[in-house]
Amino acid sequence: MLEVYTWEPNANSGKPLLMLKEKGVEFAYHYIDMANREQHSPAYLELNPNGTVPTVIHDGRVLTESSPALEYLDAALGGPALRPRDPYLLWRMRRWIRFLDYHYCPSLAMFGGAGVSERMPDQDAEAIERQVKDIPMPERRRVWRLIMAKQVPQAELAESGRRINAGIRLFEEALAEYPYLAGPDYSLADIVAMVTVYAMPVIRPERVNDRETPRYMDWLRRCHARPGNRAAFALGRGWVAARVEETRKLLGV
């Protein structure tokens, strides 16, 4: 029995969706509505006390921390292998995943959070505290406070912007050597990247385009054309599905 409790095929939430569709493995998809902070509900916190998504249950084992969970699932389940057998390429895959998880994706999330905050109604400090009090992890409470108070520091946004632009160059350089991030074959590194950068030509058109980053664009086309990616992104609702469609039109896939 395989169950996935997660939100949209977007950021960390999307990792098991893209991975399991790529492997062709059946699973039960339990949608966690992050817009209504269902990940902080008492019922969900019983399953995952950190209040994060995704949570995967396989044969009674509860798996959190999305990237290590992907390696477990790749080893435990059937379907095509998504980890290189070559030790160097395996290192390359893990290096990319670490870079994405700890540096690149948090920077993109910072910009996304700042954008969300602008669309939120103004709230006083008491109202904000009532809403964040059930978030288990203090660092996440801090981020939600900043977003809801519309106080994301400009210095943090500037540093996030610098990291995003530097990361775009890293993608372009890495893809000069191989067609995928870890090597000649599609791997977990590409999945961890795709769930966050799938729409970069729409989000950063002045930086990610056929003139400035042709290899990055071709990698996006290869990834978006994969049946597993198409099946996983088809699970999206609302703005995620719309953004994927807009990106694919731009890419011509």
Q: What is the pLDDT of residues 162-177, one digit of tens each?
A: 889 999 999 999 999 9
> With 0-12 CB in 10 A as exposed, 13-18 as middle and 19+ as buried, what is 42?
exposed
Helix or strand run (H / E) with residue 225: helix 214-225
What pLDDT does residue 107 have?
Answer: 82
Residue type, 101: D
What pLDDT does residue 249 have?
Answer: 97
Contact in structure between 13 and 30 (CB atoms under 8 Å):
no
| CATH of region 2-76, choose from 3.40.50.300, 3.40.47.10, 3.30.70.940, 3.40.30.10 | 3.40.30.10
| Domain boundaries along the sequence of the chain | 2-76, 83-185, 198-253
What pLDDT does residue 127 have?
Answer: 66
What pLDDT does residue 237 have?
Answer: 86
What pLDDT does residue 141 have?
Answer: 73
> With 0-12 CB in 10 A as exposed, 13-18 as middle and 19+ as buried, what is 176?
exposed
What pLDDT does residue 117 have?
Answer: 53
What pLDDT does residue 238 have?
Answer: 82
DSSP class of 103: I
Q: Which residues of the chain fall below pLDDT 50?
A: none
Please give the C-alpha separations between residue 46 and each of 50, 61, 131, 203, in angstroms, as whole numbers: 9, 14, 19, 36
Alpha helices in 9-85 (DSSP H): 15-23, 42-47, 66-76
Of 64, 18, 3, 25, the residue nearest 235 (C-alpha): 18
